[in-house]
Structure 1
Amino acid sequence: MPAPGEAPAATGSGLEARAVSAWFGDHKVLDRVSLDMPAGLVTALIGPSGCGKSTFLRILNRMHELVASASLAGEVLLDGDDIYAPGRRLIEARRRIGMVFQKPNPFPAMSVYDNVTAGLKLTGTRVSGPARDDLVEECLTKGGLWKEVRDRLRQPGGALSGGQQQRLCIARSLAVRPSVLLMDEPCSALDPTSTRRIEETIRELAHEVTIVIVTHNMQQAHRISDQCAFFLAEQGTPGAILEHGPTEAMFTTPKDPRTADYVAGRFG
């Protein structure tokens, strides 16, 4: 397992935001956010509530546009290609850039096995017979769940514990072979043991998918990420990145005193 800060040989894809701004109606929530999220690294988005972190995350796989009043400007580049360019298919962006939400959302009545393969039909991916069985085992193994559910594959996903359900959602995301995995506070509703297992999974996955995670847990950000971006919205201004860089530097020698105060827990 690569340690935070190491850059192993990566097979994921690099993601880059260029001058991204976002609105809900006339209300501007993000102002010209630029950030490079390299393949093989875990990027943590940190900052107080209401500064645009989750909105930015949803922009990265075109979920922002699902809100009727939402609009945006700027570019999101996956391997150098803008996912918002005219002619780019929404389903392709969603396939290549997966999402794990704050609250585990498996299909509760669907079996563990069928939960893992649910995304294949939605993306038109054909896998049948033994290859499908192998894919389920592979994804559950990568999600850190195989040993716990290999004898329960035909039982409902909703019967699993909260931490297991979250790892099942990670396995489901991996089944369509994404290049990037976005995570919006994936451990906020979990107990410490489940949180540790999710963190281990994140570190193990980082060498093959680019991971971007929103977290309010500073210890977690320090433990699992290679680089951090600190978002801040002050006095009614839109959210923006105040500072970003290698995680260790952000926590030990930040350039801005507001970053130092936030990571030390003095506000937020």
Structure 2
Amino acid sequence: MTMLLPAVEETASIEARAVSAWFGERKVLDRVSLMMPARSVTALIGPSGCGKSTFLRILNRMHELVPSATLAGEVRLGGDDIYDSSWKLTDARRHIGMVFQKPNPFPAMSIFDNVTAGLKLTGTKVRSSEKDDLVAECLVKAGLWKEVRDRLRQPGGALSGGQQQRLCIARALAVRPKVLLMDEPCSALDPTSTRRIEQTIEDLSGEVTIVIVTHNMQQAQRVSARCAFFLAEEGAPGGIVEEGPTETIFGAPRDERTADYVHGRFG
């Protein structure tokens, strides 16, 4: 495998430093700083419209693709600023994968080709002889191998919604990212599929840094080691009210607004 990429340690934390974001003249995030530790799950919680998904997209340079979108601050992966001129957009995509709210496999493409699709998109070279093992490895990690191993050449679009989401996770893992971002990955899934995705997150957390946006407070408690509570006061941009160990955020939060949110009194 040959890759010309910025050097990043094998497992890496990702850190936002004083990140602000705008859409045109409208400021949507104000000086957000957050350390998301390596090989751990950090959950971003908060009501709709407080900037969680925007923040997540800033972490792998998707924000800059929106017309009129601007930002300030730094995002550091293992100490390197991913917005530095030495980083190409494909470098960020290679190191920082993304799984979206709605499963988005390539429907006409086979399960096998869906898993390997990210290799082309990021310019990652893998020998043909290694692709079978890579696909199997990623499908195992995504908790999907046993269900699809006998139909790898069938279309990915024929899978159920939960299976499609796990296929998207396998596709993201194929380029061996250091960080995996997940934007409400279970919101469109049934309880059984949700539990399988959560088990996949748990299994992956020992080797990949995971950041997940979720509106499901029970899910945040189940899957994450740390939480950051985002809030946008009326007419103001979003920011972090409080962050820390998940058990503290839910059991003994310092800010009354955090307690109100996690206990369902608003949002």
The reply to whether TM is greater than 0.5 is yes
The ranges of structure 1 where at least 4 consecutive aligned residues each deviate by more than 6 angstroms after the TM superposition are none
Match for 2:71: what amino acid? Answer: L
2:128 pairs with 1:129: yes
Assess if the C-alpha contact under 8 Å between 1:118 and 1:172 holds in 2: yes
1-structure distance, mates of 2:185, 2:10: 23
Q: Trace 1:1-268 onto structure 2 (pairs within 5 A).
A: 12-268=11-267
Cα RMSD (Å):
1.0
- Give the CA deviation at 1:11: 5.0
Match for 2:229: what amino acid? Answer: F
2-structure distance, mates of 1:127, 1:27: 43
The TM-score, its normalising length taken from structure 1, stands at: 0.95
Q: Any idea what SS the aligned residue of 2:113 has?
A: helix
Assess if the C-alpha contact under 8 Å between 2:227 and 2:246 holds in 1: yes
Gaps of 5+ in 2: 1-8
- Give the CA deviation at 1:166: 0.1
Structure 1 residues 158-190: Cα deviation after superposition (integer angstroms, max 9, x where no partner)? 000000000000000000010000000000000
Match for 1:14: what amino acid? Answer: S
Gaps of 5+ in 1: 1-9
Assess if the C-alpha contact under 8 Å between 1:11 and 1:209 holds in 2: no
Assess if the C-alpha contact under 8 Å between 2:15 and 2:34 holds in 1: yes
Structure 1 residues 190-222: Cα deviation after superposition (integer angstroms, max 9, x where no partner)? 000000000000010011110000000000000
Q: Any idea what SS the aligned residue of 2:260 has?
A: helix
Q: Which moved more, 1:25-34 or 1:84-93?
A: 84-93
The TM-score, its normalising length taken from structure 2, stands at: 0.96
1-structure distance, mates of 2:104, 2:222: 25
- Give the CA deviation at 1:68: 1.0
Structure 1 residues 133-153: Cα deviation after superposition (integer angstroms, max 9, x where no partner)? 000000000000000000010
Identity of counterpart residues, as a percentage? 78
Assess if the C-alpha contact under 8 Å between 2:63 and 2:69 holds in 1: yes
1-structure distance, mates of 2:11, 2:99: 17
2-structure distance, mates of 1:85, 1:122: 21
Assess if the C-alpha contact under 8 Å between 2:90 and 2:123 holds in 1: no
2-structure distance, mates of 1:42, 1:18: 19
Structure 1 residues 40-74: Cα deviation after superposition (integer angstroms, max 9, x where no partner)? 11000000000000000000000000011100000
Name the count of aligned residue pairs: 259
Match for 2:160: what amino acid? Answer: S
